[in-house]
Amino acid sequence: MIKAEPDVGDLEATARAVRREIVLSVAHAGGGHVGGPMSAVEILTALYFRVLRIRPAEPGWPDRDRFILSKGHSAIGWYAVLALRGYFPAAELSTFDAIDSRLQGHPDMTLLPGLDMSTGSLGLGLAAGVGVALGAKLGRQDFRTFVMVGDGECNEGVVWESAHVAERYELDNLVVVVDSNQLQQFGWRDPGTGRRLPPYRGSQLRDRWAAFGWRVLEVDGHDIASVIGVLDQASAMQGAPVVVIAETVKGKGVSFMENDYSWHSRVPTPDELRAALDELADPVPPARDPLPPAPELVGRVAPVTADERG
Ligand SMILES: Cc1ncc(C[n+]2csc(CCOP(=O)(O)OP(=O)(O)O)c2C)c(N)n1
């Protein structure tokens, strides 16, 4: 049951529930991404439970705020939040990534009401978001557009073409959140040590957005009260688009997944799943019953491997 105005404690519990759904769903599907969805949980929870002007029972409401998950590989995190927010039954999460499911491994807006864009090819979600925000200005509509990108995704040239256009048209109805978990699928390799390096050094990411004429805000992406505060602040700023750089941890919430790029897309073993659920356990019972049996996976003989998924 969702309170009219859930408090931060409620939202932290929701975030834990979202993380449980992520690891359960990926384990159940035998494939999917884990690290990126886990780093985005507080941001998605803050958006859907406090910040966005939405009507879950009326997903096509024309005046709704728009949200685009440009880092579409993190779809399972988005689906879990949408389910807990009431867009569709949480039991449907058990169909994640099945061939005939509405919950594809990457978001498909033609299948699931409530998605404002289909994504998965990194960089393109922001281009779409710029178009949506520009359309709102031209149509004199007052909804806001929020787009989440990854820090690795900011390697894509189209991100910067879009950033340029947004600044040119003074799209102050557009807010980008960078889920800056400092890891990507594999990342840059330090030739000396062989260790994976973050996609951007130090303040580089902030300085790049600022150089493109954006207002830049920064936040601890796992402090839900701060995330709500900075998103409200970003929405109120005028004259230029705003980017919120959220410092996050890839795999956040499960100790052995945190800051380990190999969990970008990996399926937990049964023992790892149990250990993850122990770490994510709540003082109160979980949001729903254990997953029902796997649906019939029509036309799929074996789980898709990380290499096939990309
Ligand atoms: C255009 C494009 N290139 C490559 C990929 C494969 N891919 C999926 S996720 C990913 C890494 C993304 O890193 P980041 O944006 O930092 O995401 P996060 O760490 O939050 O998962 C890559 C290279 C893709 N989906 N689209």
The pLDDT of residue 284? 54
**Structure pTM?**
0.91
Q: What are φ and ψ of residue 166, in 5° steps?
A: -60, -40
The pLDDT of residue 302? 42
Of ligand 1's atoms, which has the minimum distance to the CA of residue 199? Answer: 16
The pLDDT of residue 279? 97
CB distance 153 to 160 below 8 Å: no
Q: Looking at residue 57, what DSSP letter applies?
A: T
The pLDDT of residue 290? 55
pLDDT < 70 stretches in the chain: 1-4, 284-310
List the domains of the chain with CATH numbers.
9-290 (3.40.50.970)
Pocket lining for ligand 1, CB < 6 angstroms? 35-36, 39, 71, 73-74, 120-122, 150-153, 179, 181, 183-185, 250, 264, 310
The pLDDT of residue 289? 56
Q: Looking at residue 229, what DSSP letter applies?
A: H
Query: What pairing do the DSSP bridges indicate for beta strands 145-150 and 196-197?
Result: unpaired
Angle at 192 between CA 186 and CA 193, to 5 degrees: 60
The pLDDT of residue 299? 37
The span from the CA of 227 to the CA of 206, in Å, is: 17
Q: Looking at residue 84, what DSSP letter applies?
A: H
The span from the CA of 26 to the CA of 94, in Å, is: 9
The span from the CA of 39 to the CA of 230, in Å, is: 17
Residue pLDDT, tens place only, 169-202: 999 999 999 999 999 998 788 899 988 899 999 8
Residue pLDDT, tens place only, 71-118: 999 999 999 999 999 999 999 999 999 999 999 999 999 999 999 999
The span from the CA of 4 to the CA of 219, in Å, is: 25
H or E, element range at 218: strand 215-220
73 alpha carbon to ligand 1 midpoint, in Å? 7
Nearest CA to ligand 1 atom 8: 310
The pLDDT of residue 195? 87
The pLDDT of residue 188? 85
The span from the CA of 26 to the CA of 17, in Å, is: 14
